[in-house]
A and B are shown apart, each in its own frame.
Chain A
Amino acid sequence: MNPKLLKQRIYFQVFRIATASVIFFLFLMIWTFISNGIGVINWTFLTDVPREGMTAGGIFPAIVGTIYLTLGTIALALPVGVASAIYLVEYAREGRFVRIINSAITNLAGVPSIIHGLFGYGLFVIFLNFGTSILSGSLALFLLVLPVVISASREALLSVPKSFREGSLALGATKWQTIRHNVLPYASPGVLTGAILAVARAAGETAPIILTATFFYRPTIPNSPLDGTMALASHIYYMSTQHPNIAQVRPLVYGSVLVLLGIVLSLNFIAIIIRTRHRRRKKW
């Protein structure tokens, strides 16, 4: 064979192997969790509180805690994020202000999550006296996912053609009416994708919440934003590093990992589906 093509073939084979091995690692990892964790997952595990020094029972309080934390986070991040994106795309003129906001968003996205945790601990937990609570945790996570929501919403708004706006404005609609009725509806799948990804991100984040919101053991279901909580992500960390009997509780940790992974990966999957379907259906 032509040596030129042989060389090409060898290179492409190497690239293919690199790709395949990373995917293999991902599946191997997921398989490890499934094979070790599926055995402990049953109705009791999902609906019961931890019992007998956390060596038995379930993870219900952690599941509820994760749901509360992510709901609190998205309730803050979605309105602020979408409003920021609307301002940047529809109102702001190119200039210094937009450049500053853009670099602020990029910087915020690059802040390590442990800094969000330490900042939240100092400011929300201690200084503002919210204590170790769902409120403190949601605020810390809000700062963390805000850039995700802004970027996704901005892209969604930018993908709506200019003619949609012009048509509405030509008919005498005001700027806000135009945005409200002729832009936002078409941007909503993109905004929704961003929101789902933000929820998935918030559900999996651990470093910020172990400093602001969670306890090793708190079986009661929180009934106020000022209550501390258990959460799936922090539960995995505590149970695999700090439980006095690490070997005995290991199967339970596998079960918790599987539940968290199930939630996070299905959210990611839903986001991917919404996006591809929207892209395919889009007629403009």
Chain B
Amino acid sequence: MDKDAHERRNLNLKEFLIEKLLFFSATISILVVILIFIYLLSQGAPAFSEISIVEFLTGKNWQPTSVVKPEFGTVPLLYGTMLVTFIAMTISVPIGVMIAIYIGEVAHPIEKEILKPIIELLAGVPSVVYGFFALVTLATWIQQLTGTTSRLNALNGGVILAIMVIPTIVSLAEDAITSVPKEYREASTALGASKWETIRNVVLPSSAPGILAAILLGFGRAIGETMAVLMATGNAAIINLNILDSTRTITATIAIETPEVAFGSLHYHALFALAILLFVITFAFNYLASTVMKRLGRTRR
């Protein structure tokens, strides 16, 4: 009896330890998110002992290495980020939604089996590869089409970013479209609607929240993308309405300036402050997307 009891106790202990170990692993994600946020805050906060938050958010010059008077105004970088993202979304939202409808509603099942992996491959291409393509090929096409003098520009960055965001929009929007119950479509067809009328009046309205979430996540992706815009836009930190001029995003600024900055300098802390700004913006878009999704789940039930 003793031996049995002993074994059972050992077994229970093992089970207990394993559960605790698994629990600990599961908490790592939470710890990491908190750690990243706290670390960014702790390294970014010292910047505001010398730069006022108002100056940081409304200053029109980002000249951190100026010998005369370093300036840390983020407006040109925010503007660059928004400009490139806006161009990207203008292209990728309509195209992405059209592809999602095509794959979800129109394509033959075999066609669908081929198209979905291709869209996944599109998502699998590394951003530095897209960046290289924008740098050497796309920039030339755009220059030939428009005759612009600055070869690398906001439009170039926006177009390549659009291509990169399309898979995100397609796969999520397609999920939303296919999750519309079959009965909805059948009811519409039974009333004499054509396939397109059914898509237009039944499928799209009831998958709208999912499509909206897809678009919001696309926004988050586009704002946070680094390498492609870094290589495609020319990186001049100026506010310029012309999309054929060079522009510079928040992400590109961090990528360019971090390797050259002196540890602990004002500029170093300003880069972390910039990262906080980026973190907050992308977090807002992701949060909005997940709220929309959650609401969708609730109404569907």
Tell me, yes or no, whether B21 is within 8 Å of chain A by CB: yes
Most buried by A among B106, B129, B136, B217: B129
Given A84-B29, A250-B136, do A268 and B120 touch, yes or no (CB 8 Å)? yes
**Shortest Cβ distance from residue A246 to the other chain B in the assembled complex, whole angstroms:** 10
**Shortest Cβ distance from residue A145 to the other chain B in the assembled complex, whole angstroms:** 12
Q: Are B98 and A123 in contact (CB under 8 A)?
A: no
Tell me, yes or no, whether A277 is within 8 Å of chain B by CB: no
Q: Are A118 and B135 in contact (CB under 8 A)?
A: no
Given A176-B18, A211-B259, do A15 and B98 touch, yes or no (CB 8 Å)? yes
Q: Are A207 and B255 in contact (CB under 8 A)?
A: yes
Q: Are B124 and A200 in contact (CB under 8 A)?
A: yes
Tell me, yes or no, whether B282 is within 8 Å of chain A by CB: yes
With a CB–CB cut-off of 8 A, which chain A residues contact B126?
A: 203-206, 233, 260-261, 264
Tell me, yes or no, whether A108 is within 8 Å of chain B by CB: yes
**Shortest Cβ distance from residue A169 to the other chain B in the assembled complex, whole angstroms:** 13
With a CB–CB cut-off of 8 A, which chain A residues contact B259?
A: 210-211
Tell me, yes or no, whether A40 is within 8 Å of chain B by CB: no
A8-B101 Cα distance, complex, nearest whole Å? 13
Q: Considering the complex, which residues of chain A in the window 215-237 have a beta carbon less than 8 Å from any beta carbon of chain B?
A: 233-234, 236-237
How many interface residues does chain A have, given as a range?
35 or more
Of A19, A32, A121, A261, the residue contacting B102 (CB under 8 A) is A19
Give chain B's interface secondary structure class: helix
Q: Are A107 and B102 in contact (CB under 8 A)?
A: no
Of B25, B32, B121, B255, the residue contacting A211 (CB under 8 A) is B255
Q: Considering the complex, which residues of chain B in the window 92-108 have a beta carbon less than 8 Å from any beta carbon of chain A?
A: 94-95, 98-99, 101-103, 106-107
**Shortest Cβ distance from residue B25 to the other chain A in the assembled complex, whole angstroms:** 3
Tell me, yes or no, whether B186 is within 8 Å of chain A by CB: no
**Shortest Cβ distance from residue A170 to the other chain B in the assembled complex, whole angstroms:** 17
Q: Considering the complex, which residues of chain B in the window 244-270 have a beta carbon less than 8 Å from any beta carbon of chain A?
A: 251, 254-255, 258-259, 263
**Shortest Cβ distance from residue B72 to the other chain A in the assembled complex, whole angstroms:** 16
Q: Are B33 and A107 in contact (CB under 8 A)?
A: yes
Q: Are A143 and B36 in contact (CB under 8 A)?
A: yes
Q: Are B195 and A18 in contact (CB under 8 A)?
A: no
With a CB–CB cut-off of 8 A, which chain B residues contact A91?
A: 19, 22-23
**Shortest Cβ distance from residue A28 to the other chain B in the assembled complex, whole angstroms:** 9
Most buried by B among A18, A91, A118, A268: A118
Tell me, yes or no, whether B43 is within 8 Å of chain A by CB: yes
Give chain A's interface secondary structure class: helix
Tally of chain B residues near chain A (CB < 8 A): 77
**A272 to B, closest residue via Cβ:** B117
With a CB–CB cut-off of 8 A, which chain A residues contact B26?
A: 83-84, 87-88, 92, 101
Tell me, yes or no, whether A100 is within 8 Å of chain B by CB: yes
A→B interface (CB under 8 Å):
4-5, 7-8, 11-12, 14-16, 18-19, 21-23, 25-26, 29, 32-33, 79-80, 83-84, 86-88, 91-92, 100-101, 103-108, 110-119, 121-123, 126, 143, 146-147, 150, 174-176, 200, 203-207, 210-211, 233-234, 236-237, 240-241, 250, 253, 257, 260-261, 264-265, 267-269, 272
B→A interface (CB under 8 Å):
11, 14-15, 18-19, 21-23, 25-30, 32-33, 36, 39-40, 43, 94-95, 98-99, 101-103, 106-107, 115, 117-118, 120-122, 124-129, 131-133, 135-137, 163, 166, 194-197, 217, 220, 223-227, 231, 251, 254-255, 258-259, 263, 271-272, 275, 278-279, 282-283, 285-286, 290
8 of the cross-chain contacts (CB-CB < 8 Å) are A8-B194, A19-B99, A23-B115, A116-B36, A117-B258, A143-B32, A207-B227, A237-B227
